[in-house]
Chains A and B, each alone.
Chain A
Amino acid sequence: MSAALIEAKNLSKTFPGKGMFRKSRPVQAVRGIDVSVARAEAVGVVGESGSGKSTLGRLMLGLMPATAGSVTVDGRPLSDFTGSEWRRLRQRLQIVFQDPYGSLDPRRRIGSQIADGIRLHGRGEAGEQVTALLNRVGLEAAHAQRFPHEFSGGQRQRIGIARALSTAPDFLVADEPVSALDVSIQAQVIQLLADLRRDLGLAMLFISHDLPVVAQLCDRVIVMYLGRVMEEGPARPVFHRPVHPYTRALLSATPRLDAARRKERILLKGDPPSPADPPSGCVFRTRCQHAVEACAQAVPELAPFGGDGRRVACIRAAEIG
């Protein structure tokens, strides 16, 4: 693999507890995660709510400070960039949001919102570039004069993508960009993201709770649970032959069309524990059917498994894999 464009090492984020008199326990959203994304590579992050996947995306963009660990771009830590360098860096790192309704300013015409990225960084005359961007995401030049409420969810998501592209970024965090969309529209947007990646050489961190979607779009996938990585590796092998008990449960719980693919359902017991009060040792052990006493002792290391570049954080991976 080529050198990483953006790399996170031992990244952690703890949100302090709330409350004035009796502080609630701090929430450990992300705990000691390593990620690297090479140019033109798409890395998927899969997990359920509370897994810390969105926090990871914000940390990688420098939109919130990390509690520990570092993020480097081209080998330089984010904290090195100051003043005008920071603003130039901002051009290179962009984000697409989940909610197509909340992510556009309802009071401004979309053309002006897309032009922001061009004007802010003095990238020349905005008008033509806005038209080009709109065409790039499958909309028309005339749409620039409209307000967000005049568009459907899928169209708004395209506008959000055009806005992110307005600074000509190298790296895009897509935070559940298709979760709020209808399935027929989902496929359009996934296709658009795949095209952009191919045509513009865009590196991507694709955050989703939907493993099949990630398998479609991404080269590699990271499976998160309660702030930690359970399994990571090449997307298709992980999708077709998951090793970690959590990845297996997640995949078997995903509703499938094809009855033959619907293997025996692994039904997890109970709900995910609160990120404010995670279990000791392996965070998944409380819902894992393979859990043994040793699982509670130490946090399992993310260790290489098999020959396909996969890493799994499970002490019983060899037994059950």
Chain B
Amino acid sequence: MAYAYLFKYIIIGDTGVGKSCLLLQFTDKRFQPVHDLTIGVEFGARMITIDGKQIKLQIWDTAGQESFRSITRSYYRGAAGALLVYDITRRDTFNHLTTWLEDARQHSNSNMVIMLIGNKSDLESRREVKKEEGEAFAREHGLIFMETSAKTASNVEEAFINTAKEIYEKIQEGVFDINNEANGIKIGPQHAASNATLAGNQGGQQAGGGCC
């Protein structure tokens, strides 16, 4: 299918906060109540529309377990957006955000858009982390914030789409280098003809530079 842009996302955060469920809700519009531990990384994709443009989202849902951390780190560099997820009913997952953020900032490109997500907002009775705390953390670290429920689908679309909007705005502002695919952004096939030559030239230049 034709798309104007392709964005790569990663979903990160502690194990059991609902990363895979968020992705499943977003791509398949369904909820799986049984916790199926993600091994390494799983892929999902969906098309969205922003500003009248078709945008393809390719999403890599990472394993939250510590043992997979070295694997998941490999995905930071090539992603344009990250959803950093915690569980509002488990304070420790909120407390670990700093570690996750440091990790992400260290391994990703500096322009990566990070969306902080407090998931499981349907479990209000078991809430341990106030919404205000999440907002404050996001403000402090310059992140977008949202509370979601993968179960009820509340705010799930918005979380993915708002992240894309932010990336899209950054592209419009010229912050992202869209010709460098390592940033997790790709121009769609309709623009591909003009960009193929461009990419070719760049490759040549790079090689030439190396020889000197």
Task: Answer whether A and B are interacting partners.
Answer: no
